[in-house]
Structure 1
C-alpha cells in the first residue's frame, strides 16, 4: 500500500499542476493584446518568488543558493523555457504553443536514454507516442506562420526537459527551496531583459486598468500553484512517467476554450482527448511500480 501511494501521489500532483497551468494559459492568451509578453512573464515569476519565500520562511525551510550545482541547471533551464513560452504565446496561436511546448516528454525520454542510460520501457514509449499524437490531433496547429516563434516554442520544450531531469536529482532539497531559487533566477533574468528593452524603447506597457491587473494577478496565482505541484511531482516520481501525465494540460486547456469561448470540437479533437487521457489514466493507476532508480546523486 505504501509503494502504491508513492507511485500514485506524483501522478495526482501532476494532474493538479496541469490544471493550474491550463488556467494560466487561458488567462495569458486573453492578455496578449493588453500587455507585453515580458511584463506577463515578469509578473508571474516575481509573484512566485515572493510567495515561495513567504512559505519557506513560515515553514522554516532552509533556502539554498550556490549548491547543489544541479539546482542551477534546473533554474537556468527553467528560466529560459519560461521566457520562451511567454514570447511564443504572443506570436503564435495558443494551440501551436501548447503543442510545441508539450513535446518535452519526448526530449526527456531521449535524454534519459542518452545521458542517463535509462532505456524507457515499452509502456513509457507508447504512452509518450500516444500522448503526443493526441496533442497534435487536439490542437492541429498551423505552423506556416511565424517560424522563429515556432522555433522558440520548440526550444522551450528542450529546456523544459533539461529542467525536469535536473529537478529529479534534487530529491534532497525541499520543493519550496527549489521553487524559490528558480523563481529568483527567473526574476533576475526577466527583470534585466525588461530593463534593457526599456532602455532601447522596445517595451510595450500594459494598460493600467483594473481588468488587466486582475488578469495579471490570475497569471501569478495559477502559475505559482502549478509550479509547486509540478516540482513535487517531478521530485518524487520518475521523469518519463510524470511527463506523460503532464500532457493532460492540453485537454484541460481545451475544456477552458469550450467553457469560456465556446469553441467547437471536431471528431479528431475528441480522438485526441482519448489518446492523451488514456495513457494518463493508465499511468496514474499503476500503483505497483516504484519510480525508476539509478539517477546520479545530488551534488
Structure 2
C-alpha cells in the first residue's frame, strides 16, 4: 500500500535530488564564492527549462506573466534572505527558523487558497516541526538567550520565512495552469541576471570544482522540477512538510561523505520528521478517498 500520495512522492524525489545538490554546494563552497555557484545554477536552470519547453512545444514565458514575474522575484529574494540568515545566525538557529515555513504555508493556504487542514495533517506538521527542533537544537531554545542573536538577522530570517511561504503558494497556483518548466524558469532567470551584481571575488574553478558546481546546477534544478510537478497535484500545506526530509538526507550525506556522525538528538528528530511525513501521506490518502466517495 502506498503511504504517500503521488504529489508527495514527487516532492520526496525532488527533495532527495535537492539534498545531493546541497552536499555539492558544501563541497564547491570550500573555495568558491556562494554567488558564483548560484550564478552557474541559474544559467543551467534557464538552459534546462528552455530545452524541456522546446521538446514540449510550449512557450517559455507562460500565460500568467505577472504571477510568474512575482514567482521569480520571490524566489530570488527568498534565496538572498536565506543566505543572509545562514551567514549571520548560528546554523542551528537559522535552520530551525527557515524550516518552520510549512506552518506559515498552511496558514497562508487556509486564508488565501481555502485549503482545508484535517486534524491528522495538523498533527503531522507539528511532529515534523518538533523533529526539526530536535535535529537543529537552536541555542535560543536549548540554553542561550535570544538576546545574544543579531536582531537584524532575526528580522531577515522572519522575512525569509514569509518569502519562502509566498513563493510556495505562487508555485501551487501556477502549477495548475502552467508547464512545470515555465514555473521553474523565472527564479533561475532572475538569478542569472542579478547574481553577478551582488557577487564579489569570483574565482576560476578547478576541474573538480567544475564537476561539483555543475552537479549543484543539475541536481537542484532537477529537484525543483519534480517539486513543481508535485505542487500541481497536491495540497500546498501538506506537501511542503515533505521538504523537511532534506534535514534527514543532509545528516545522511554528512555521515557518509563528510565524517559528521549524527547524535541521538539528530536520530530522534529525524524519526519524528519521517513519522510526520508518513502521517501527512496517510491524511492525504484519506482525504482523497473521501473526496472520491463524495464525488
1:14 matched residue in structure 2: 11
Are 2:295 and 1:290 equivalent residues in the alignment? no
2:237 matched residue in structure 1: 240
Deviation at 1:147, TM superposition (A): 5.5
Q: What is the 5 A alignment of 1:223-262?
A: 223-262=220-259
1:273 matched residue in structure 2: 270
Structure 2 CA distance for partners of 1:86 and 1:218, relative to 1, 3 Å: farther
2:144 matched residue in structure 1: none
Which shows bigger deviation, 56-65 or 148-157?
A: 148-157
Q: TM-score normalised to the size of structure 1? A: 0.83
Query: What SS does the corresponding residue of 2:285 show, helix, strand or coil?
Result: coil
Deviation at 1:154, TM superposition (A): 4.0
2:159 matched residue in structure 1: 155
- Between the aligned partners of 1:164 and 1:95, the Cα distance in structure 2 is 23
2:190 matched residue in structure 1: 185
Deviation at 1:223, TM superposition (A): 1.0
Runs of 4 or more off by more than 6 Å in structure 1?
A: none
Question: Which deviations, in whole Å up to 9, do the C-alpha atoms of 1:175-221 show, x marking residues without a partner?
Answer: 01111233213322323434xxxxxxxx1223532222221111111
Structure 2 CA distance for partners of 1:83 and 1:66, relative to 1, 3 Å: farther
1:114 matched residue in structure 2: 111
1:50 matched residue in structure 2: 47
Are 2:212 and 1:215 equivalent residues in the alignment? yes
Deviation at 1:114, TM superposition (A): 3.4
Aligned residues between the structures: 282
- Between the aligned partners of 1:206 and 1:291, the Cα distance in structure 2 is 54
- Between the aligned partners of 1:187 and 1:65, the Cα distance in structure 2 is 19
Deviation at 1:49, TM superposition (A): 1.0
- Between the aligned partners of 2:189 and 2:277, the Cα distance in structure 1 is 32
Q: TM-score normalised to the size of structure 2? A: 0.84
Deviation at 1:52, TM superposition (A): 0.9
Question: Which deviations, in whole Å up to 9, do the C-alpha atoms of 1:108-148 show, x marking residues without a partner?
Answer: 01212333454532222221111111012112244656664
Aligned with residue 173 of structure 1, among 149, 157, 178: 178
Is this contact kept in 2: 1:65–1:181, CA < 8 A?
Answer: no
- Between the aligned partners of 1:178 and 1:91, the Cα distance in structure 2 is 30
Structure 2 CA distance for partners of 1:149 and 1:38, relative to 1, 3 Å: farther
- Between the aligned partners of 2:78 and 2:25, the Cα distance in structure 1 is 16
Structure 2 CA distance for partners of 1:23 and 1:88, relative to 1, 3 Å: farther
- Between the aligned partners of 1:253 and 1:147, the Cα distance in structure 2 is 28
